Amino acid sequence: MHSFSYRANALLTFSLTILALMCAMASLTDNFNSPSPTATVQILNVNRFQKRSNGDDEVAITLNISADLQSLFTWNTKQVFVFLAAEYTTPKNTLNQVSLWDRIIPTKEEAKFSVKPKNKYKFIDQGSNLRGRDFNMTLHWHVMPKTGKMFADKLVLPGFRLPESYSYR
């Protein structure tokens, strides 16, 4: 009854149960963290603004993004995925979210940065609605834990506007 393998089995089961409990508790401690990230975004230049052959508008821009996301990191954070999306409404769509740029932040030290990228993903509308369009830039972040629950939130930066006319090449 109380053999070597019986004791080994009991120990394995019990230790794994406790391990699972510890991970769950570690994930719970993330709730105590109330982050206060800050960010500013500018459009430095509209490089190209045109209508594609299928009738959809496309914009190419250069951005200036500086952000401090260090407060998002806790001891249970594996990485933070941050991305910038243009969000706007058109007569046809209640919501358009177009990612322009993203980055994976693996450590807290790299969570404070300032970059001037071109849009990484194409900024294409479903239709021809971008001329003079007001839109919000939203900086989203997804916190990947080492174990447990994932967190996500965003910062809305309003007041952006695209040019009234297409650019000429």
- Cα atoms in the 13 Å half-sphere on the side-chain side of 32: 8
Please identify, among the stretches 35-43, 45-53, 68-76, 156-164, the one whose residues bind other proteins according to the rule CB under 8 A: 68-76
CB of 86 to other proteins, least distance (A): 10
Q: Does 39 bind other proteins (CB under 8 A)?
A: no
Which is closer to other proteins, CB of 134 or CB of 165? Answer: 134
The helix (run of H) or strand (run of E) holding residue 30 is: none
Query: Kindly report the CA angle at 120 between 70 and 102, in degrees rounded to 5?
Result: 20
Q: Does 117 bind other proteins (CB under 8 A)?
A: no
3-state secondary structure of 63: strand
Q: Does 118 bind other proteins (CB under 8 A)?
A: no
Q: Does 29 bind other proteins (CB under 8 A)?
A: yes
Which is closer to other proteins, CB of 131 or CB of 165? Answer: 131
CB of 103 to other proteins, least distance (A): 10
Residues 6 or more apart whose Cβ sits within 8 Å of residue 29: 74, 75, 76
Please identify, among the stretches 8-16, 43-51, 109-117, 158-166, the one whose residues bind other proteins according to the rule CB under 8 A: 8-16
CA 102 – CA 119 distance, rounded (Å): 9
3-state secondary structure of 17: helix
Residue type, 31: N
CA 74 – CA 68 distance, rounded (Å): 15
Q: Does 156 bind other proteins (CB under 8 A)?
A: no
Q: Is the dihedral of CA 23, 28, 34, 37 positive or negative?
A: positive
The residues of the shown chain that bind other proteins, judged by CB under 8 A, are 1-4, 6-8, 10-11, 14-15, 18-19, 21-23, 25-26, 29, 74-76, 78-79, 81, 83, 85, 91-99, 102, 104, 106, 121, 126, 140, 142, 144-150, 152, 154
